[in-house]
């Protein structure tokens, strides 16, 4: 998976979240709740490959509604990577 425009990339291992892969790639992502789906600091925008992310969990759907995430946004700590994708944030 690719982190744009940072120019960083890393392959996803089985059952890893976007946040897991970002950490391994060295891409800094906000995560003040430690990845338990409360803070929404880890929200990212999926540029390509949204179909390669697992369906949102109940936690992610609830936070998405409360925080008003756009359809192309996901919580990195909740989204399981199943294939190649490209993500970005407003602060990279
Ligand atoms: S790290 Fe807090 S919601 Fe993802």
Mean pLDDT computed over 16-20: 97
| Antiparallel, parallel or unpaired: β 2-3 and 86-88 | parallel
End-to-end CA gap in the chain: 16
Per the structure block, which two tokens stand in for 38? Answer: 């409360």
| Residues ≥6 apart with Cβ < 8 Å to 12 | 1, 20, 21, 81, 82, 83
Q: What is the band of 72 on the pLDDT scale with cuts at 50, 70, 90?
A: very high
Mean pLDDT computed over 19-30: 97
Q: Which domain holds residue 49?
A: 2-88
Mean pLDDT computed over 38-64: 96
Q: What is the band of 87 on the pLDDT scale with cuts at 50, 70, 90?
A: very high
Distances (CA, A) of 48 to 35, 66, 80: 23, 25, 15
d(CA 86, ligand 1 centre) in Å: 19
pLDDT value at position 22? 98
d(CA 18, ligand 1 centre) in Å: 11
- Total structural domains within the chain: 1
Cβ–Cβ under 8 Å, residues 2 and 16: no
Task: Give the residues surrounding ligand 1 with Cβ less than 6 Å away.
Answer: 31, 33, 35, 37-42, 75, 77
CATH of the domain at 41: 3.10.20.30
Q: Which 3 state secondary structure label does DSSP give 58?
A: helix
Mean pLDDT computed over 62-82: 96
d(CA 7, ligand 1 centre) in Å: 23
- Report which secondary-structure segment, H or E, holds 2: strand 2-3
């Amino acid at each position: 998976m690719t982190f744009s425009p940072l120019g960083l990339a890393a392959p996803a291992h089985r059952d890893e979240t976007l946040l897991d892969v970002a950490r391994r790639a060295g891409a800094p992502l906000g995560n003040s709740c430690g990845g338990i789906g409360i803070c929404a600091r880890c929200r990212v925008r999926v540029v390509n490959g949204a179909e390669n992310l697992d369906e949102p969990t109940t936690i992610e759907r609830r936070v998405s509604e409360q925080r008003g995430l756009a359809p192309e946004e996901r919580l990195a700590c909740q989204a399981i990577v199943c294939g190649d994708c490209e993500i970005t944030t407003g602060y990279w």
